[in-house]
Amino acid sequence: MNPWPSAELHGFLDFFKWTLIERRRNPRLPDPDPAIFVRVAPEFVVPRAAPDELTITWVGHTSFLVQIAGLNILTDPIWSERASPIQLVGPRRWVPPAVEFDRLPPIDAVVISHDHYDHLDAGTISRITRRYPAVMWFAPLGVGEFLRQRGAREVTERDWWQESSIGGLGLTCVPAQHFSGRTLGKRNTTLWCGWTFRSAHQAVFFAGDTAFHPEFGTIGRRCGPFDVAILPIGAYEPRWFMGSVHMNPEDSMKAVVQLSAAQSGKRLAMVAAHWGTFKLTDEPMDEPPSKMREEWRASGLERNDLWIMRHGETRIVR
């Protein structure tokens, strides 16, 4: 369970209050035309980037291809049309996966943040295990069995602050404020987390899916300094319901401030994640990046250190 007082979760009665009562009183603001979300051609390195090169490519939502330490790593991969137990109903993609699955470079590792459908996708897991049977999987406690049932061979489960490694890359499972569960009545039987990656040349923080919590500064001190932090910025309205599980741009800015305090003068780039792919909550789909840019401008930080990436875009750190 989340150890912080701000992490109290809402139950199904509150969910029904939100969806059946409050939405009638306060209808959703209109969404933009999905065409505004532009896809661009990825520019990751095939088959692998050099060991001293870091590339980050946004597939969509919290799915990224990270090339670091000469390895190809996927985070929370989902290539399915819907974030749902069945592909007939449920949140549908606004933007197709910005990297075609058959054009992925050889995948060495996959990291999972938790077991929700928009982060742990059964169909995608099965595709990866068939295509790359030797891939190494890193997941929080309790998620390994789901992966093994779908063909994963090399699975490492970790609790918060536990470490792992693959090749020349060190990984640390770090705290997040969220919850887990894929079926009614079965909540929080598995863990949720973020991950940090550290090579001899670069370090990346992948926050996964989280609300704002007190441990960002500790993560920075114990696992940083980082070159890049991938932080969620979307799926936050209404705040009374979503505030305990999802950050909004203001919260993401607070996380950047706490992480930056441990940077020892090193500049930190923030990648905006968890927006523009699935319609999960009430804010307009194009609102999170707009508000994130406002928060960043007000902070006085270097403008180029905020990466609001287009679907498919690759950023390179040398």
CA–CA separation, 61 and 230 (whole Å): 11
2 located within any domain: no
What is the CATH classification number for the domain harbouring 49? 3.60.15.10
pLDDT at 29 (0 to 100): 84
What is the span of the domain harbouring residue 101? 35-317
CA–CA separation, 86 and 275 (whole Å): 22
pLDDT at 23 (0 to 100): 79
CA–CA separation, 307 and 127 (whole Å): 30
pLDDT at 16 (0 to 100): 66
pLDDT at 12 (0 to 100): 66
Which whole-number Å values give the CA distances from 251 to 105, 135, 200, 284, 285, in the listed order? 34, 34, 30, 18, 18
DSSP secondary structure of 67-118: EETTEEEEES---SSBSSSSTTSSPBBSS--SS-GGGPPPP-EEE----STT
Ordered strands of the 63-68 beta sheet: 154-158, 136-140, 109-111, 71-75, 63-68, 54-60, 314-317
Contact present, 103 and 131 (Cβ < 8 Å): no
pLDDT at 13 (0 to 100): 75
19 located within any domain: no
13 located within any domain: no
281 located within any domain: yes
25 located within any domain: no
Task: Give the total number of structural domains in the chain.
Answer: 1
201 located within any domain: yes
pLDDT at 204 (0 to 100): 98
124 located within any domain: yes
Residues comprising the chain, all counted: 318
pLDDT at 187 (0 to 100): 85
Pairing between β-strand 136-140 and β-strand 109-111 as defined by DSSP bridges: parallel
CA–CA separation, 177 and 170 (whole Å): 23
pLDDT at 7 (0 to 100): 72
Residue 294 C-beta-side C-alpha neighbours within 13 Å = 10
Pairing between β-strand 269-273 and β-strand 306-307 as defined by DSSP bridges: parallel
CA–CA separation, 94 and 285 (whole Å): 9
7 located within any domain: no
pLDDT at 17 (0 to 100): 77
pLDDT at 271 (0 to 100): 98
Q: Walk along the chain (318 residues) in steps of 10 and give the mean pLDDT of each run.
A: 77 72 79 94 98 98 98 98 90 97 98 98 98 98 98 98 98 97 85 98 98 97 98 96 95 98 94 97 97 97 97 95
